[in-house]
Structures are given as C-alpha cells and as structure tokens.
C-alpha cells in the first residue's frame, strides 16, 4: 500500500477514534451532572427524565429543558418552592407522588400552564394549600391520600383545580372543625356543608360582636363624661352658695368674665 494511502487511512481512523472519545466524554459529563439515581430516556417518542426512588430532598436543577415527562416520585422532597419548574416549558406530565411535600408555594408551577396536562401530588403530607398555587393550571391534578384539613381553603382549592379522574374519592378529611367529618370523603362532606358560608357567618358574627363592644365602650365613656361634668357643676354651685353674698357675686362675675 502506498505511503499516502496509509497516512490517509491512519488519519481517518484517528479522526473516528477522536470523535468517539469526544462523544463518550460528553455522555459521561452529562450523566455526571444528573443527581444519583436520575437518568434521561425516551418513552413513546417523549423525552423522559426519571428520578424515582433517588432519595432526593429537593427538586433537581439540571433537568434537560426539553423534558416532556418528569418522574420525581418516591423521594423525600418536603416542599415545592416558587418557580421550581420554570425551566421546563415543554413538560406534559409531572409525577410528585409518594414524597413528603407539606407545602406548595404560590408560583411553584409557574410556566407550566400551557402544556402540562397531568400533575400527581398524591400520597404526600399536604394539609392545606392556597388555591393560588395552582393558578391558571389546566392539568388534571391528583390530590388523593393526603392528610387534608377540611375547611373553606380546601373547598376553594377543589373548585379551582381539575381533579384527575377517579381521584376525588381519595381526598379525605384527616381533620376538620367538626368531628363528624373526619374520615369522610371531602366531596361527600361539602354536599351537605358549605365551609366558606359557615366561615363567612362566623366572621360576620365576630365583626358584629367587635362593633357592639366598641359601641358599648363609647356610650359608657359618654355617660361617664356627662355624669362627671354634672357632678363638677353641682359641687361648684354648692361652693358658690356657701360663700357670703358679696364674695359670691364677685365669684359669679369672675366666672362669667372667664366664660366670656
């Protein structure tokens, strides 16, 4: 084989080897950037990122921004901060089930309203969440198997979100202002009880009691003030009567002059 051909062959081989090494290094670098137990894949043509059972205590940061399905289930995440998923504009499904989530900040799902169609928050530690946390979210939401406090706040939340099919029966009152509601499905309870109406009545009564208290204080002060003035006037008249005639007239004149 001519020398020139050998050189070209060796150069081509070296070039292919170099490209392979660069590709391998890129893959290793990308894998190292992901938290332990997390890996990307492709399922049914959708880009998926799985972090199930990865012992996570927070939402990982280096999630590919073209992810369509994100699995963060079965971890130890305690809360969802504001803008937790803001860099995932193409996310369609988000699984946060079986964590320790007890708090969801307002704006936690900001940026997901356009595409997200499935959100699983089942089997967490949610007791009470503001409806603002799910503002503008169109996804089907699973809120079952959480220790919910059945009150007006939960009632407003349920009216705001679109519950996933078959999940409503799993939203059970773990605590309530009325003991007879504990252990019952929330949708069953609100069929007979309007928590927000009860809360409004309680608030109105409290306001009336407060207003009555202030009114009673003002009336009491006015009565005291009038009586005190009457008593002072009576004492002054008695004092004037006790004086000799000339001195009394002088005192009266002095009083009139002072008043004028």
pLDDT digit string (tens) for 33-87?
Answer: 788 899 999 999 999 999 999 999 999 988 999 999 999 999 999 999 999 999 9
- Would you list the domain boundaries of the chain? 32-193, 194-232
DSSP the chain: --HHHHHHHHHHHHHHHHHHHHHHHHHHHHHHHSPTT-EEEEETTEEEEE-TTS--SS--S---TT-SEEE--SS---EE-TTTTTT-TT--EEE--SS---EE-TTTTTT-TTT--EEE--SS--S---GGGGTT--SEEE--SS-EEESHHHHHHHHHSEEPTT-GGG-BEEEESSGGGTTSBHHHHTTT--HHHHHHHHHHHHHHHHHHHHHHHHHHHHHHHHHHHHHHHHHHHHHHHHS-HHHHHHHHHHHHHHH-
Classify domain 32-193 at the CATH topology level: 3.80.10
pLDDT tens, 221-257? Answer: 666 666 667 666 666 666 656 666 555 455 555 544 4
């Amino acid at each position: 084989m001519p020398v020139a051909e050998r050189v070209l062959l060796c150069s081509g081989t070296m070039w292919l080897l170099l490209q392979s090494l660069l590709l391998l290094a890129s893959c290793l670098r990308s894998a190292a950037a992901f938290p332990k137990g997390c890996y990307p894949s492709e399922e049914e043509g959708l880009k998926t990122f799985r972090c199930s059972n990865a012992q996570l205590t927070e939402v990982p940061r280096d999630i590919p921004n073209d992810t369509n399905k994100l699995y963060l289930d079965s971890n130890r995440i305690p809360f969802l901060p504001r803008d937790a998923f803001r860099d995932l504009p193409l996310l369609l499904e988000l699984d946060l089930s079986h964590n320790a989530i007890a708090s969801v900040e307002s704006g936690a799902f900001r940026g997901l309203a356009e595409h997200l169609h499935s959100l699983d928050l089942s089997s967490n530690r949610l007791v009470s969440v503001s409806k603002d946390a799910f503002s503008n979210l169109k996804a089907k939401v699973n809120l079952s198997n959480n220790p919910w406090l059945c009150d007006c706040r939960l009632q407003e939340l349920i009216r705001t979100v679109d519950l996933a099919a078959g999940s409503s029966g799993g939203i059970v009152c773990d605590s309530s202002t009325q003991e007879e509601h504990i252990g019952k499905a929330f949708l069953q309870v609100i069929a007979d009880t309007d928590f927000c109406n009860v809360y409004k009545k309680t608030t109105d009564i409290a306001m009336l009691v407060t207003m009555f208290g202030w009114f009673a204080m003002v009336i009491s002060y006015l009565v005291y003030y009038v009586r005190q003035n009457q008593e002072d006037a009576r004492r002054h008249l008695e004092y004037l009567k006790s004086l000799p005639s000339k001195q009394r007239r002088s005192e009266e004149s002095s009083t009139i002059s002072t008043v004028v």
